[in-house]
Chain A
Amino acid sequence: QKEVEQNSGPLSVPEGAIASLNCTYSDRGSQSFFWYRQYSGKSPELIMFIYSNGDKEDGRFTAQLNKASQYVSLLIRDSQPSDSATYLCAVMGLTGANNLFFGTGTRLTVIP
């Protein structure tokens, strides 16, 4: 059973600060990693994906991947109150359906 672990939080940051969300995974062969944002009562929304070691930036979001350490993170710069949500880390399986394995999510609150 693949495991994806996230610090459950809650994580609170002031508006304008950098929010750092972390995730570790157990399957060393995993190749594809995703971050989803989920507002309360809504469905997950894909915000970042990363396949290669290093950093990938998209606007205020940066995903970081370190396969040797089996670690993936999401940085949110200039955090806004609208970023307050639960962030789900997901790792794609290697065989069959290539389904996603999700962590339990980190709840982020950005304080105005």
Chain B
Amino acid sequence: ETGVTQSPTHLIKTRGQQVTLRCSSQSGHNTVSWYQQALGQGPQFIFQYYREEENGRGNFPPRFSGLQFPNYSSELNVNALELDDSALYLCASSFSTGEKLFFGSGTQLSVL
């Protein structure tokens, strides 16, 4: 166990809805990164939060947004869900940017 916790573990939504995923980072870690992993693929970087600011973003549209709170926990919000958003969403925390990432157990999102 890494100490990174995510909720919920599974979620089913319909196209067009909005979803919020949550992550608590490992103790002592101030950086949270979010990844999307489609079936049979490696994880793809969505964005990273460092000290409550977005610190970098992958090739994802603006309907993917996030927050980091003073306790370093984080949320991933996805608006206007599309079928292709169905994936495992992984949160990872690290001591700082550029450090080793430790992943939570993920949230499996299904969009119908």
Contact = CB atoms under 8 A, between A and B. Distances in A.
A16 B102 CA distance: 29
Given A97-B97, A98-B97, A43 B45 contact: no
A41 B35 CA distance: 15
Contacts of A36: 103
The size bracket of the interface on A is 20 to 34
Interface stretch (B13-21, B36-44, B61-69, B78-86): B36-44
A99 B90 contact: no
Contacts of B42: 4, 88, 90, 102-105
B56 interface: yes
A25 interface: no
Given A43-B90, A44-B43, A104-B42, A99 B33 contact: yes
A100 B98 CA distance: 9
Interface of B: 2, 33, 35, 40-45, 47-48, 50, 55-58, 88, 90, 97-98, 100-106
Interface of A: 4, 32, 34, 36, 42-46, 49, 88, 90, 92, 96-105
Closest 3 CB pairs of A and B: A97-B56, A102-B42, A98-B98
